[in-house]
Amino acid sequence: MTGTTPSSRPPLLDALPRCLLRLAAAGFTLTLAATMAQAQTAGDSKPASPSTLEFNKNSTASLPWSDKTDFANAKRGLIARLPDGGIIRDANGRVVWDVSKFTGFIKDGAAPPDTVNPSLWRMSQLLMDAGLYEVVPGVYQVRGADLSNLTIVEGEQGITIYDPLIAAETARAALDLYYQNRPRRPVVAVIYSHSHVDHAGGVRGIVDEADVKSGKVKIFAPEGFLDDFVAENLFAGTAMSRRASYMYGNLVPPGPQGTVTTGLGITTPSGTVTLISPTDLIAKTGEKRVIDGIEYEFLMAPGSEAPSEMMWFLPKFKLINTAEDATHTMHNLYTLRGAKTRDARLWPMYLNQALQMWGDRYEVQITMHHWPTWGNAEITQLIKVQRDTYKFMHDQTLHYANMGYTMNELPELVTLPQSLANQWAGRGYYGIQSHNVRAVYNFYLGYFDGNPATLNPLPPAQAGARYVAAMGGPDAVMRLGREAFEKGDYRWGAELVNHLVFAQPDNQEAKNLQADILEQMGYQAESGPWRNFYLTGAGELRHGVKKPPTPNAANVDIVASMSPELLFGYMGVQLDAKKADGKTLIINWIFPDINEKHALFLENSVLNHWPDYTDLKADVTVTVDRTTLTKVLTKQVSFEDAVKTGQVKFAGNQARFAEFMSYLVNLNQYFWFNIATP
């Protein structure tokens, strides 16, 4: 793209929405992954090997299988199942949620298939109890209508809803199920527990923004929620979204040889993600609010499971909500889709605070995933297991790191004691000890292990070619790989054959062997995301990367919530430094409707941003309302029409703006990049 005169159609009219549309999608990878077509089939899946059968039997033999408490709790208080077999549709009749794909083969009381880790099978059975439940009189949950739970609290004037799921359609269906079985009272408040999409994205399915603006409905959230909701996954959004397609198993059909839930919930919906900004922020631990006649006490937990997170206690119901800091699984200190590593030091500190603040008062505990826990002693035990699991991994990782052990040595050393490992709530159904321990190391010491031999490693394809040659060529590697497979030495086999795959990406025989190895590792995995990664990788090795339509999440709510700083910051990520080499440019942006002025500086192949600029001599000045820019980015208004109608105005050399836009790359075009192959 080159500069142009104002008399011709400026290329920027297409470039602006194309280059910035990724901004709309980057913040909610969960739902993007769920919109993808199920691109693989189970027809070429292999049965469990003898090694896998033995592993699954032995690795879970010591677990407390006679303890059925979780099953009783998961079923307790059932009022009604999800209608239509758990199928939820959008306004056009498109299915956005279908529990029946899982309940069709995950049966209550059924023995685990040979191809599923028995412990993960147990968790998956627990997640199949989808419906409306009474927690205590006045508090209800709809579980299994989305990845997370929708909680309803009955107050003086209406109802308060906690965490309205990912999608508007699933949230609306969950609320409809409640209304079919309880009095139809208005929603007067919403509380977001933390800044992840599965806890706020469905808000427009349950409330009207006009009622929020008028004050009829209040929305509470932890301080920093809005920025964190939009920003956490923004700058690496394309990569995170692609990896989320692996993590949530969206490219693998549900089934005994496919995905069997995520461990945290069933799966992700493909509905409409929305957002309404909070009206009231909670900022301090110990803060109290009265919401619809019910007293709340809050505990802030920033930097734990989410950048902005909080727990709370309701004295009226003797109820503690531990949000996502204490669920029925080991959670992620590092999430496999990619995100900043979470602070394993802070997480147990917050759970300790919960015990100190409310440990002698609570009688029921809810979490935003999974089922409730009843009884003071039982809740305390759950919180302690969660607290000590994270603290053990934190402390013992650093214990051994300070002895010189490195990131990839630590998972074999930092193994939970039996007192924690044999607790169902400490098992790694979502996060897992292996990658969490490495996360702690990385949080403190980074990816480098200190060995100068690993300081500047070869890229995988180059290293692969040299390893293959050193081992005697492709045939020798294949022979060694098959031997590893036959022995059930899958971790070594995967590492070995991976070199051949990266050295010879067209070697289908090698890719098929690697797929067979990864598949068995998936069958052995206790973690839902680990299983999904292995099986997705196996499918793409066998069939190549299927490329259904690239997810398009040009969501008005998300784009409108982005600060100019985030918009301009992402432009810096989009900048093609080679194209911009040697170029200098200043662009002033004026947003009259929000009374803000910003300047962008291009020099040294870097884009910098100044807010609140004054008296700068720019190459071009762009004046546009922030609301208009949102409409352009979400394709409600074309950029061309916005220019023609005067909604976008230029002063100075408009061709320099077109030149600048030519330096920005639409990163979403690279969405379907290879993962298991070079």
Q: Are residues 536 and 559 in the same domain?
A: no
**Pairing state of beta strands 131-136 and 139-143?**
antiparallel
- Residue 15 reports pLDDT greater than 70: no
Tens-place pLDDT, residues 155-199: 999 999 999 999 999 999 999 999 999 999 999 999 999 999 999
Domain end position, chosen among 515, 543, 571: 543
Tens-place pLDDT, residues 36-60: 444 455 568 999 999 999 999 999 9
Q: Are residues 507 and 585 in the same domain?
A: no
What is the C-alpha separation between 230 and 530, in angstroms, rounded? Answer: 26
What pLDDT score does 615 carry? 64
Q: Where do the DSSP E strands lie in 138-247?
A: 139-143, 150-154, 159-162, 187-191, 218-222
Q: Where are the alpha helices (H) located in 35-167, listed in sequence order?
A: 50-59, 69-75, 100-103, 118-127
Mean pLDDT of the residues in the chain: 92
What is the C-alpha separation between 207 and 274, in angstroms, rounded? Answer: 11
C-beta of residue 467 within 8 angstroms of C-beta of residue 368 = no
Domain assignment present for residue 135? The answer is yes
Domain assignment present for residue 437? The answer is no
What pLDDT score does 614 carry? 62
**Pairing state of beta strands 620-624 and 648-652?**
antiparallel
C-beta of residue 532 within 8 angstroms of C-beta of residue 259 = yes
Residue 404 burial (CB count, 10 A) = 9
Q: What is the pTM of this model?
A: 0.94
What pLDDT score does 612 carry? 85
Q: Are residues 579 and 534 in the same domain?
A: no
Sign of torsion over alpha carbons 381, 384, 386, 389: negative
Element (H, E) at 300: strand 294-300
Domain assignment present for residue 529? The answer is yes
Tens-place pLDDT, residues 247-272: 999 999 999 999 999 999 999 999 99
Q: Are residues 242 and 271 in the same domain?
A: yes
Tens-place pLDDT, residues 105-121: 999 999 999 999 999 99
Q: Are residues 315 and 196 in the same domain?
A: yes
Domain end position, chosen among 543, 577, 610: 543
Quote the DSSP letter at residue 113. P
Q: Are residues 656 and 602 in the same domain?
A: yes
Those residues whose C-beta lies under 8 Å from the C-beta of residue 579, and which sit 6 or more positions away, are 662, 663
Q: Are residues 153 and 264 in the same domain?
A: yes
Question: How many domains in the chain?
Answer: 3
CATH of the domain at 618: 3.30.1050.10
Sign of torsion over alpha carbons 485, 490, 493, 494: positive
| Amino acid occupying residue 190 | V
- Residue 226 reports pLDDT greater than 60: yes
What is the C-alpha separation between 278 and 274, in angstroms, rounded? Answer: 13
Domain assignment present for residue 472? The answer is yes
Q: Are residues 539 and 650 in the same domain?
A: no
- Residue 506 reports pLDDT greater than 60: yes
Domain assignment present for residue 80? The answer is yes
What pLDDT score does 21 carry? 43
CATH of the domain at 284: 3.60.15.30
Report the range of poorest mean pLDDT among 72-86, 198-212, 538-552: 538-552
Domain end position, chosen among 510, 543, 576: 543
Work out the pLDDT band at 7, boundaries 50, 70, 90. Answer: very low
Q: Which structural domain, as residue segments, surrounds residue 472?
A: 457-543
Q: Are residues 595 and 464 in the same domain?
A: no
Q: Which own/partner contact pairs does 383-387 have at CB distance under 8 Å and 24+ positions apart?
A: 383/322, 383/326, 383/351, 383/354, 383/355, 384/355, 385/420, 385/423, 385/425, 385/426, 386/325, 386/326, 386/327, 386/351, 386/425, 386/426, 387/326, 387/347, 387/348, 387/351, 387/352, 387/355
Q: For the chain, state the CA radius of gyration.
A: 26
What pLDDT score does 11 carry? 42
Q: Are residues 110 and 236 in the same domain?
A: yes
Q: What is the 3-state secondary structure (H, E, C) of 621-642?
A: EEEECHHHHHHHHCCCCCHHHH
- Residue 25 reports pLDDT greater than 50: no
Work out the pLDDT band at 633, boundaries 50, 70, 90. Answer: confident
Q: Are residues 127 and 213 in the same domain?
A: yes
Q: Are residues 502 and 590 in the same domain?
A: no
Domain assignment present for residue 349? The answer is no
